[in-house]
Structure 1
Amino acid sequence: MWSSNLLFSVAFLRILGTFHVALAAPIHDSVDEIDNIHFDFIIVGGGTAGNVVANRLTENPKFSVLVIEAGPSHEGIINSEVPFFAINNWFTQYDWNYTTVPQPGLGGKSAIIPRGHVLGGSSSINFLMYTRSTREDYDRIAKITGDQGWSWNSLFPYFKKNEKFVLPADRHNITGQFTPSVHGFKGPLAVSLPGFETPIDSKVVTATQQLGGGFSYVEDYNNGKPLGVGFLQVTVDENGRRASSATAYLAPRYLKRPNLHVLVNAQVSRLIQTSRSKTPSFLTVEFRHRSRKRLTQLTAKKEVILSAGAIGSPHILLNSGIGDAKALNALGIKPLVDLPDVGQNLADHSAIANPFVALGNDTFERIRQPNVTAQLLKEWKKSGTGPLVNTVASLVGFHRVEGADIPNPDPAPGPETPHFEHLFANGLIVPNAFVPPGQPIFSVATAIVSPSSIGSLTINSTDPFAMPLIDLALLKEESDRRMMRAALRHAFKFLTAPVWDDYVRGGAGDLAGATTDEQLDEYINAEAGTFFHPTGTAFMSPKGSKKGVLDPDLRVKKISGLRVVDASVFPRIPSGHTQSCVYVIAERASDIIKAAYT
């Protein structure tokens, strides 16, 4: 899914365009504006996690906080604001445009990794899916780290604290589509359900009733036990607009705080050691900004918090001399702190956007016709309604493989955690070179959400701004490939429900006719990619453990005054889309940091 050979409609993109309005005053785009301010905390990365921490820390007026974001402001970017336009941010200035090294598990091809290069980070360009993962996922983190604060029961109040569940844009009756007791209604981040009904929605629900068993309908998969099929929850507000960490945690009422500062277009190169005691500190941040020809350095009084993501944070650590000492020495970087696990333990969810021939013509393919898109955009701008308020899918399913397809050991933490996921979409999820233009499509995407394959992030240059080497190890382990085949066959089985008899006619493109292991493997090699959920590259381990990068309080081992708060902290990849998981990590991290200074 989503490999590097995507084709885009040029006309479609031209109609949408990307435009940027002037920055609001509290968001700085010049180093001169903050030169004479002293900061207690400097947060590197204004993404999903970083903005949460900035917001929560500045609730205390005694704390002065600076967020340094490599990308521009999120304000006025239409392709970020409109949920359905999310994919239009790929291969633009709002995307880091990362690519993996060749992946043996994908037949030797590379895969793209869209990551947000904009305020809000990937929460500003992702597909807006809000899935918390399972109770067992978090209980495993608590067990691995020895900190019960990371358990499901301990984090559940933080999920509610993060969330403001709202009615969808079309204000339809959502009784039976979610469980109110599971959700929060007063948090900063808007979460809702699909705000425009598509022709497949009722058919998917009917199929769950006709098939039952593992396909049974689940009212709310965010209760910690998600197995089954239910309506997708998304970070879209009641007005049909994307809710991101930037719109939620850096909303105008928060940016008015005199102790909160945000600097955009500032890419961090490294951290600089500020003390040489037995436990060294790295409180100085070095970065480049377009307003200055030279590199700039700023020093925090209390802490530096890395929130640059599972790719950015280990990249900065390695460039700072924090990592495997032998590897850094060989590269010509002076090792300052020997932490061999920096950049290791990288995991992601491999995925395929499986297209099937649809017999109806009211699919995304119609919406993507330039003249139709233009009219729908007018509707969205006027009323915040219509098909553009949705992301690419309306319903989601979480499932387990059975029998011989279950790996040994099982990478899932328990029997209520899925091995794979389906996304049900009323059209092509992403452009596909093998599907004829305009062909109506029904998609059932598959993703391995409990993978065994583990990759790494390394560097091969002393230039801190050079791209890192990213190996997601997608489908590297045969057990993951076996699960992917099982997931594909599970999708085929879903389409045997009678409700699809007059709507779906077999696979489209190179999925057509693929049934044997050999044919499915050929299809997987051609089409598989990533769900864009890199995790684990600065993972937590018990305090005092020689393994890992962080203690359970998210402090970098062997260092004082430096923490990491983002998707890199997970010792095992969660089984859901990682956006919600990162929000909850950041909410608890904020309280941990506050408690250290009270």
Structure 2
Amino acid sequence: MQHRSIFSPVLLSLLFSLLAQAVLIEKISQIPNVEFDFIIIGGGTAGSVLANRLTENCNTSVLVLEAGPSNIGVLETQIPFLASGLVRPSPYNWNYTTTDQVGLAGRNISYPRGHILGGSSSINWCVYTRGSAEDFDRFAEVSGDSGWSWNKLLRYFKKSEKWRAPADHHNTTGQFDPSVHGFNGLVGVSLAGYPTEIDPLVITATQQLGGEYAYNQDINSGMPLGIGWGTGTVLHGQRSSAATAYLAPKFLERPNLTVLLDVQVSRIIQTANGTTPAFRGVEFRQGNGTLHQITASKEIILSAGTVGTPQILMNSGIGNPADLNAVGVTPIVDLPDVGSNLSDHPVISNPWLVNGNETFETIRRDPKPVFLEWKANKTGPFTDIVLDHIGFGRIPPSLIASPDSAAGPNTPHYEMIITNGLPTFIPLPPSGNFIVLTALVVAPSSRGSVKLRSNNPFDTPLIDPGLLKTDYDKLIMREALKSIKRFSAAPVWSTYILSDAGGLSDAVTDAQLDAYAAANAGTLFHPVGTASMSKKGAPNGVVDPDLRLKKVHGVRVVDASIMPFVPSAHTVASVYAISERAADIIKASY
């Protein structure tokens, strides 16, 4: 499908004058004739962090192989307001499609993953949430490494974060807790940069309802339950991604860092035999061209993401032997959990027609003035992400299963995103103004997989996120929808919300709610788990707690795929923190 911009040709002519092109290598022939210490496969969220931190040592050389193009000059990745529209098919998206989902009434759905420098951090919704402290304490328990606990990882959340005032410099007193944030990192994080008409209504609703909707001053404290102000990866009115933060031009100028764009890796190559084989070679191509090989002197680091990492491992003969033989790939390393344990967040956007005229629809129907303000000053509505407020809740205690899919009693089962209008991925109707309350299952029990479709390493894989596959996940989504209904019935909304515009009001019984969910749910593209970490020496899992690939020398995995459970959060903040710690672990190894 062809990517379509919301901008007219006149506005598009303004796009490419905003930033100068940074120096990045775009041809294989330009790779310096040196031996690289580390080869990082993937210049996404994790790969960008590692490339930056490892090359802080001028004696360490790093090559990054990125499948997508540069992010520089791609305006729609810079404007926070447009963030949600980047999930549509485009050159900056891998444009995957899932297998038919039994929990979604047999539908298959698009599955966005970033195909651009910065990876999914360049095309996500810019929402910054960390999850609960219990999420990470569970990581520590499962891996046997206390370094993955909340208390130990908090300093890495802070290390990655550059908290800054919002674009409008409004008084943020009481909207966040400075003690839990970092101010000296690289990734910009801020509160909403432009007020919306629903902001005071949301706060009033928290006061009227209390309880599960009580105001939470900072949802990033490790205790996210309740409703609070949303935070986004926005710096001075622009998206802050892994590419803009960790691979900014001043870092790309390092002589020991080489970033090669538009190359796709087919497999990693065994370079030594023995009881534990070594894999330090990489095979890749540019376009449909010749296959090339290069070797790392120390390690290959797989940072290709929850889809790309297991695909490359399986194409290399590392995985479940039965699955590999079935598609004609010769097994080399018996590691059956590669590609399994995929978990993700099911999502449903629920719109209501409102009595207001300052919603996103008004902006989208006439974007030019707002765009010109943003271009001139980096202020105005285009500095805002999809939400100003966000909420997290738990299902009633009587319904909680044993074992519970949530990490503990202070961890949410579901999330509510409160949006001042239709996000830009939803087609714009000719008239009307809306509020959207989006429900997510953030503690799913369902598990899916990534598998090879064939022995062609460049064939798209079979992606099964297992959305709403279990009865427990259906129950959580049902309760989330009920919670949204209760929130929308707060007295403050009585004259503002006019009518349901999406059909949720017609779903009254549990069976009707389940049918509504199956017909309308999708994904918020937060997949994790396909190269899960487990205790060192454990027969299950894919990587050890130091993120070394089990049963292999010379390979580490650093990306969202190593998380054994999806945190109750938008995953980018977790990946930044995990990658920062991984960089320290790798440095300490040498």
Tell me which interval the TM-score lies in, with the shorter structure as reference length: over 0.9
Q: Once the two structures are superposed, what CA deviation does each residue of 1:500-552 show, in whole Å capped at 9, x if it has no partner?
A: 01101232133342222232223212210011100000000100011000000
- 1:142/1:10 Cα in 2 relative to 1: closer, same or farther (>3 Å)? closer
Which of 371, 376, 381 is the equivalent residue of 1:387?
381
Residue 407 of structure 1 aligns with which residue? 401
Measured after TM superposition, the shift of residue 9 of structure 1 is 8.3
Q: Is the 8 A contact 2:439 2:480 kept in 1?
A: yes
Could you say which residue in structure 1 is the equivalent of 2:133?
135
What is the aligned counterpart of 1:29 among 26, 30, 33?
A: 26
Q: Please tell me the residue identity of whatever aligns with 1:409.
A: P
Partner of 2:169: 171
Match of 1:258 among 255, 258, 272: 255
Task: Measure the CA separation in 1 of the matches of 2:289 and 2:472.
Answer: 50
C-alpha separation in 2, matches of 1:537 and 1:23 = 37
**How far apart, CA to CA, are the structure 2 residues paired with 1:462 and 1:28?**
29
Matched-pair contact (CA < 8 Å) for 1:15–1:374: no
Alignment equivalent of 2:492, drawn from 482, 496, 499 = 499
Instruction: For 1:56 and 1:10, locate their aligned partners in 2 and report how far apart those are by CA, in whole Å.
Output: 35
CA contact (8 A) 1:284 1:297 kept: yes
Does residue 323 (structure 1) correspond to residue 319 (structure 2)? The answer is yes
**Contact 1:80-1:124 at 8 Å conserved across structures:** yes
Q: CA offset at residue 17 of structure 1?
A: 4.9
Could you say which residue in structure 2 is the equivalent of 1:221?
219
1:108 aligns with 2:106: yes
Contact 1:23 1:73 in 2 (8 A): no
User: 1:524 and 1:9, CA in 2 relative to 1: closer, same or farther beyond 3 A?
Assistant: farther
Are 1:348 and 1:532, in contact at CA under 8 Å, matched by a contact in 2?
A: yes
Query: Residues 169 and 385 of structure 1 are in contact (CA less than 8 Å); yes or no, is this contact kept in structure 2?
Result: yes
- Opposite residue 453 of structure 1, the aligned amino acid is S
Aligned: 1:58 with 2:48: no
SS of 1:274's equivalent? strand
Seen in structure 2, the aligned counterparts of structure 1 residues 235 and 431 have a Cα distance that, compared at 3 Å, is: closer
Matched with 2:40 is 43
Are positions 1:560 and 2:553 aligned together?
yes
Q: Distance in 2 between matches of 1:208 and 1:193?
A: 18
| 1:26 CA displacement | 3.5
- Alpha-carbon distance in structure 2 between the residues aligned to 1:258 and 1:415: 49
- 1:430 Cα deviation (Å)? 5.0
State the Cα distance separating 1:10 from its structure 2 match: 7.1
CA distance in 1 between counterparts of 2:578 and 2:224 reads 20
Select the residue among 440, 443, 451 that pairs with 1:447: 440
User: Are residues 1:245 and 2:242 paired?
Assistant: yes
SS of equivalent to 2:147: helix
CA distance in 1, matches of 2:20, 2:324: 39
Q: Distance in 2 between matches of 1:267 and 1:405?
A: 46
Match of 2:124 in 1: 126
Distance in 2 (alpha carbons) for counterparts of 1:13 and 1:343: 42
1:25 deviates by 5.3
**Distance in 2 between the 1:408 and 1:585 partners?**
29
Contact 1:345 1:536 in 2 (8 A): yes
What count of residue pairs does the alignment treat as equivalent? 587
**Which letter maps to 2:334?**
D
Partner Cα separation in structure 2 for residue 430 and residue 53 of structure 1: 32
Letter in 1 for 2:133: R
SS of 2:155's equivalent? helix
Aligned ranges 1:353-368 → 2 under 5 Å? 353-368=349-364
| Equivalent residues of 1:47, 1:120 under 8 A apart | yes
Matched, 1:530 2:526: no
Aligned residues of 2:319 and 2:336 also touching (Cα < 8 A): yes
Alpha-carbon separation, structure 2, partners of 1:494 and 1:583: 32
Q: Aligned pair in 2 of structure 1 residues 9, 486: CA closer, same or farther (>3 Å)?
A: farther
Report the CA distance between 1:278 and its aligned residue.
1.4
Secondary structure class of the residue paired with 2:374: helix
Among 74, 77, 82, the alignment partner of 2:79 is 82
CA deviation after TM superposition for structure 1 residue 197, in Å: 0.4
**Contact 2:84–2:425 under 8 Å retained in 1:** no
1:293 to 265, 269, 289: 289
* Conservation of the 8 A alpha-carbon contact between 1:405 and 1:486: no
Residues 10 and 244 of structure 1: CA distance in aligned 2, closer, same or farther (over 3 Å) = closer
Residue 298 of structure 2: aligned partner:
302
Match of 2:541 in 1: 548
Post-superposition Cα deviations, 1:320-352, rounded to whole Å, max 9, x if no partner, equal 110001221222111110100000000000010
1:282 and 1:559 in contact (8 A); partners too: yes
Q: TM-score, normalised by structure 1?
A: 0.95
Q: What CA distance in whole angstroms lies between the structure 1 residues aligned with 2:430 and 2:481?
A: 24
**CA shift in 2, pair 1:456/1:14, >3 Å:** farther
Contact 2:22 2:249 in 1 (8 A): no
Please list the CA deviations of residues 67-110 of structure 1 after superposition, one character each: whole Å capped at 9, or x if unmatched: 11000000000000001112343200000001110101010001
SS of 2:546 mapped into structure 1: coil
Partner of residue 333, structure 2:
337
C-alpha separation in 2, matches of 1:88 and 1:479: 31
Quote the Cα distance in structure 1 between the aligned partners of 2:5 and 2:216: 39
TM-score using structure 2 length: 0.96
Shift of 1:164: 0.6
Cα distance change on mapping 1:95 and 1:10 into 2, 3 Å: closer
The whole-number CA distance in structure 1 between the counterparts of 2:66 and 2:544 is 25
Whether the 8 Å CA contact 1:26–1:262 is kept in 2: the answer is: no
Which stretch shows the higher mean deviation, 33-42 or 461-470? 33-42
Q: Distance in 2 between matches of 1:171 and 1:219?
A: 18
Give the Å deviation of 1:408: 2.7
Match of 1:420 among 397, 405, 414: 414
**Where does the alignment leave 5 or more consecutive residues of structure 1 unmatched?**
none
CA distance in structure 1 between the partners assigned to 2:548 and 2:230 by the alignment: 34
Q: Contact 1:163–1:184 at 8 Å: present in 2 too?
A: yes
The answer to whether the 8 A contact 1:255-1:261 is kept is yes
Q: Deviations over 1:244-299 (max 9, x none)?
A: 00000011221121111111101111111111121111111111114x83111111
1:174 Cα offset (Å): 0.7
- Cα deviation, 1:563-587, whole Å, max 9, x if unaligned, reads 0000000111111000000001100
8 Å CA contact 1:236, 1:243 repeated in 2: yes
Whichever residue aligns with residue 408 of structure 1, its letter is S
Unaligned runs of 5+ in 2: none
Amino acid at match of 2:132: T
Cα contact 1:71–1:117 (8 A) shared by 2:
yes
User: Is residue 354–residue 444 contact of structure 1 (8 Å, CA) maintained in 2?
Assistant: yes
Q: Percent identity?
A: 53
- Are the counterparts in 2 of residues 405 and 479 from structure 1 also a CA contact under 8 Å? no
Task: Quote the Cα distance in structure 2 between the aligned partners of 1:14 and 1:130.
Answer: 32
